[in-house]
Amino acid sequence: MNIKSLLLGSAAALIAVSGARAADAVVVAEPEPAEYVKICDVYGAGYFYIPGTETCLRIGGYVRYDIGVGDSGSFDGVNHVQDHQNANDDHSTYYKNTRFTLKTWTGQETELGTLKTYTETRFNYGNSSGDYEDSASTDWTSRNKSLSLRFAWIQLGGLRVGKDDTAFDTFIGYAGNVIQDTLVPYGGQESNVVQYYFDAGNGFSGMVSLEEGAGVVGTIDSYVPHVVGGLKYKGDWGAITGVVAYDSNYEEVAGKVRLDVKATNELSLFIMAGYGTDDNLTDDANNAIDAHGRGFYKQWGGNWAIWGGGTYKFNDKTSFNAQISYDDWKNLGIAANVAYTVVPGFTVTAEVDYLNAGKFDDVDFNNWTKANKKSSVGGILRFQRSF
């Protein structure tokens, strides 16, 4: 009986302990509240608040695929590529480039005004257009090309610092809505900058920009920066804008004036004229670094150049874009395309380009587009998914 009593007592104890543990197991901790991303509509569509901050962030970009054919002087062709089997033969082939571009925007309101940033990074894979006759270059081959930090700037109120395109282009506007808009170039692009933008009200605005330039010809060689200034008047009908730039390397001045007109709801037109001094830019006999007549700002041939064109929207999906350009060296560029939006965010553009190199047969010919003949024709087909 003592053994039986002991076993029954042990079983009762085990049941009591098990019951206590079972009671403890059903206690569930309260879940912490989830923190959802909040939409920020202060700066437009696509922004959201970075959790735990008052900063609004937007992420975007595009994936692009280009296919070009034709003459190298149109920027669309790859000419005189060595045949793999026959040393005495060569061919033309496609120009192809795939690009992934990642963009970010941020915005935040402060007691000193809106604090903004913008970045744009580009990744490229493909070959390079050009004429490869008697050339050791292998740039006609497909490869991973440049990784480019295209833009990276900070702006507080009207003050902007960082990497941007020169205000000689951004403030007045690039040329037409064509792919090859620099058959006759209209100014340098990438640069580190310190800029100030101001809004005078009633449609008037202006800016001043101190710039470093880029490249061997364009990058400043002292503590003296390049200087760009501009004024703009904008109305419901369009805008008129002027910019002037001082090239501190060659001590030359260039300027552009542009008129934009909204002719109808479907048709928009522009015309832009440029003029620049070039005595030092053309002084190859005495310059330590020869510019061959083309500086960072006055990149067109000779003293003057003109660009004009427009866009006609047939409907919400289809538009026609055209541009004609001409300079003092008798370079004539014509580009025209049709852009079709297949679905929102996906656009296909087909373009035809023409260049007549006015001084092609002259001894002092400066070959901007790497043309291999006086008249060049090419075409390019672009697929782009923007997000």
**pLDDT, tens digit, for every residue of 127-138?**
999 999 988 999
Which tokens belong to 9? 């007592």
pLDDT tens-digit readout, 5-55:
544 455 454 444 445 444 455 566 666 665 678 999 999 999 999 999 999
CA dihedral 41→47→53→55, nearest 10 degrees, is -90
Name which of 224, 217, 279, 234 is nearest 254 in CA terms: 279
Distance between CA atoms of 313 and 150, rounded to whole angstroms? 29
Maximal CA-CA distance, the chain: 126
pLDDT tens-digit readout, 363-378:
889 999 999 999 999 9
288's CB contacts (< 8 A; 6+ apart) are none
Name which of 190, 171, 282 is nearest 228 in CA terms: 171
Other CB atoms within 10 Å distance of the CB of residue 7: 10
Residue 316 DSSP symbol: S
- Contact, 91 vs 50, CB < 8 A? no
Name which of 217, 167, 227, 220 is nearest 197 in CA terms: 167
Other CB atoms within 10 Å distance of the CB of residue 237: 10
Which tokens belong to 87? 């040393």
Environment class of 199 (CB within 10 Å of its CB; exposed 0-12, middle 13-18, buried 19+)? exposed
Amino acid identity of residue 262, one-letter, is K
Strands 130-131 and 78-82: parallel
Residue linked to tokens 């070039």: 278
Name which of 376, 19, 335 is nearest 177 in CA terms: 335
- pTM of structure: 0.87
Tens digits of pLDDT across the chain (387 residues): 454 454 445 545 444 444 544 445 556 666 666 567 899 999 999 999 999 999 999 999 999 999 999 999 999 999 999 999 998 999 999 999 999 999 999 999 999 999 999 999 999 999 999 999 988 999 999 999 989 999 999 999 999 999 999 999 999 999 999 999 999 999 988 999 999 999 999 999 999 999 999 999 999 999 999 999 999 999 999 999 999 999 999 999 999 999 999 999 999 999 999 999 999 999 999 999 999 999 999 999 999 999 999 999 999 999 999 999 999 999 999 999 999 999 999 999 999 999 999 999 998 899 999 999 999 999 999 999 999
Residue 39 DSSP symbol: B
